[in-house]
């Protein structure tokens, strides 16, 4: 959005919604909490502001459509808010999940991480990797203590046949499948890492041991991710 703020009001199918709070305003997207006739909604809009005089709205359109595609892939999975309403070519609205981001070392209930593993397994069965689980705050803990995954901006989907979107269309099959497996392995590793930090009393010895051996792919991903985050902050 550049120097612009999110709109004070949204006109949705069931009426007007007013902005309660801006939750995020980063290089690629801005999100805000809105409230109206249907309760609370989250509005997410992709980048629209130019950068060094160059138009960037096309990136916002691309990322918004890509994330909605990922929600469609996850349709029917409990723990993913897949209902949405498209507002602009760069933005959409989805239900707001009452809860809070998982905190590093937070002591959640005994069933939280088994449920998160099950949720992630269902996502993986759709030939999709979440990719962005290295940060605990990318997992939401709802008011009943259940896990949710909701930000699929970095996700990688590579089905065995057809239905590929974005850059996946340009990647040869064997390479795309290899990337998918590596990202899914990283997803599983990061869940166990958060599990170890939050509830070491409920993790098995075998699971605990695996969290101490991240592997080369995860180390590379970690370095690239950290450098990319630093660059985004400088370019905002």
Domains and CATH numbers, the chain: 9-95 (3.30.200.20), 99-235 (1.10.510)
Q: What is the pLDDT of residue 121?
A: 98
Which residues pair with residue 148 across a beta bridge?
140
pLDDT at 65: 92
pLDDT (0 to 100) of residue 78: 96
- Please report the pLDDT score of residue 51 as a whole number: 81
C-alpha separations of 126 from 45, 120, 139, 193 in Å: 26, 10, 19, 23
Specify the pLDDT at position 4.
82
Query: What pLDDT is stored for residue 127 in this prediction?
Result: 96
User: Minimal CA–CA distance to 169: which of 178, 180, 158, 177?
Assistant: 158
The predicted structure's pLDDT at residue 54? 87
**Per-residue burial over 178-213, b = 16 or more CB atoms within 10 Å of its CB, e = otherwise:** ebbebbbbbbbbbbbbbbbbbbeeebeeebeebbee
Phi, psi for 45 (deg, rounded to 5)? -125, 135
The predicted structure's pLDDT at residue 25: 87
Angle CA 21–234–171, to nearest 5? 95
Long-range contacts of 104-110 (CB under 8 A, 24+ apart): 104/136, 104/194, 104/197, 104/198, 105/197, 105/198, 106/136, 106/141, 106/198, 107/198, 107/199, 108/141, 108/145, 108/198, 108/199, 109/145, 110/199, 110/202
pLDDT in tens, the chain (236 residues): 667 899 999 999 999 999 999 999 888 889 999 999 999 999 999 988 888 888 889 988 999 999 999 999 999 999 999 999 999 999 999 999 999 999 999 999 999 999 999 999 999 999 999 998 998 999 999 999 999 999 898 899 999 887 777 778 888 899 999 999 999 999 999 999 999 999 999 999 989 988 876 766 666 666 665 665 555 555 55
Distance between first and last Cα of the chain:
10
């Amino acid at each position: 959005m550049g120097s612009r703020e999110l709109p004070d009001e949204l006109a949705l199918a069931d009426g007007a919604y007013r902005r309660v709070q801006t939750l995020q305003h980063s290089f690629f997207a801005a999100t805000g909490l809105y409230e109206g006739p249907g309760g609370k909604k989250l509005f997410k809009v992709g980048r629209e502001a130019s950068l060094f005089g160059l138009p960037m709205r096309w990136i916002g359109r691309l990322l918004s459509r890509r994330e909605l595609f990922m929600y469609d892939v996850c349709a029917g999975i409990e723990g993913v808010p897949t209902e949405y309403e498209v507002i602009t070519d760069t933005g959409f609205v989805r239900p707001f999940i009452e809860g809070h981001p998982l905190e590093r070392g937070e002591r959640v209930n005994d069933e939280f991480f088994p449920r998160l593993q099950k949720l992630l397994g269902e996502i993986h069965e759709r030939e999709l990797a979440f990719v962005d689980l290295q940060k605990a705050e990318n997992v939401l803990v709802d008011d009943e203590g259940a896990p949710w995954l909701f930000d699929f901006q970095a996700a990688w989907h590579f089905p065995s046949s057809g239905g590929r979107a974005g850059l996946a269309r340009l990647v040869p099959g064997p390479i795309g499948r290899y990337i998918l497996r590596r990202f899914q392995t990283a997803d599983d590793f990061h869940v166990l890492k958060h599990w170890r930090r939050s509830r070491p009393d409920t993790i098995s010895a075998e699971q605990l041991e695996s969290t101490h051996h991240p592997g080369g792919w995860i180390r590379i991903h970690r370095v690239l991710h950290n450098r990319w985050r630093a660059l985004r902050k400088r370019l905002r």
